[in-house]
Amino acid sequence: MTPLLEVRGIDKSFGPVQVLHDVTFSAYAGEVTALVGDNGAGKSTLVKCVGGIHPIDAGEIVFDGRPVQVHGPRDAGELGIEIVYQDLALCDNLDIVQNMFLGRERKNGLVLDEATMEELAGETLEGLSVRTVKSIRQRVSSLSGGQRQTVAIAKAVLWDSKVVILDEPTAALGVAQTAQVLELVRRLADKGLAVVLISHNMNDVFAVSDRIAALYLGRMAAQVRTADVTHAQIVELITSGRSGDLGLKNGTAP
């Protein structure tokens, strides 16, 4: 099986600090790939490189078998790569429909086509079996954390996206809401999308992911199938970059 999204040998420096060293990472359609690593391991930087927020210094991004250039969020969006950021990027003063279509409004000539947008937003939420919001015309400010996360994810799915990258979607949520969001993450993959889940929470990672990629100090320590590893091994990979045969040898790629 070929990965839908593959980054090969990416280097990224901010001034004198090299944040990513020769990182290789793949995400497959229909699977949830968890991206784990300690604080400062480079998870967010890697995601921002894929999303076109940071230009890469070296390496290439391969999408659906062909190398692509991602120069900005627009490029990523056109390829079908959507990123749901940790701080959600929703406007509190707008309602759910307005947020989902923000920046890509449907128009009838000059006028906004509210009816079509409302229909599409409703269909998308229904397609994801989201039943937790009262009205899709309520303001985002009145939503709970889990509901906001749901809206942010639904916004990413609305655009026929093929890859959805979620940055710590459950970090600020309670137990019940975390379960809801994880269920939603699983459903996205079951619909055939390639899902990348950044998380610190091992329970979440083992609950939904098919593969796990562990970053250690800017290097990819290992990318393995979730079924093949244990909790303890992943924790070791995160904290020391190696675990038995897995991981980095002497601080370099295996």
Partner 1 sequence: MSKVKELPGEAVVAAASSPSITNSSRAYLERVRGGDMGALPAVFGLLVLCTAFALARPSFLTAINFANLFTQGAAITVIAMGLVFVLLLGEIDLSAGFTSGVCAAVLAVTLTEMGLPWYVAVLAAIVSGVIIGTMLGTLVAKVGIPSFVVTLAAFLAFQGLALVLVSEGTNISINDPVIKAIAQKNLPPALGWGLYAGCVAAYALVQLTRARKRARRGLVAEPLSMIAGRVGALAVVAGVAVYVLNLERSFNPEFASLTGVPIVVPVILALLVLWTFVLSRTAFGRHLYAVGGNAEAARRAGIAVDRIRISAFVICSSMAAVGGVIAASRASSVDPNTGGSSVLLYAVGAAVIGGTSLFGGKGRALDAILGGAVIAVIENGMGLMQYGASVKYLVTGFVLLLAAGVDALARKRAAAAGLR
For binding to partner 1 (CB under 8 A), which residues are involved?
Answer: 73-74, 77, 85, 87-94, 98, 102-105, 107, 110-112, 115, 118-119, 122, 125-126, 130-137, 139, 141-144, 147, 180
**Cβ atoms within 10 A of the Cβ of 121, count?**
23
Nearer to partner 1, 65 or 103 (CB): 103
Beta carbon of residue 198, minimum distance to partner 1 (angstroms, whole number): 17
Nearer to partner 1, 144 or 239 (CB): 144
Rounded least distance, CB 163 to partner 1, Å: 16
**Least spacing, CB of residue 82 vs partner 1, in Å:** 11
Backbone angles phi, psi at 58, to 5 degrees: -150, 165
Cβ partners under 8 Å of residue 16, min gap 6? none
Least distance (Å) from partner 1 to the CB of residue 157?
14
Short-list 220, 213, 214, 210, CA closest to 251? 220
Nearer to partner 1, 31 or 95 (CB): 95
Quote the CA–CA distance of 175 and 172 in Å, as a whole number: 10
**Distance, CA of 238 to CA of 234 (rounded, Å):** 6
Closest CA to 154 of 171, 139, 136, 141: 136
Shorter beta-carbon distance to partner 1: residue 98 or 223: 98
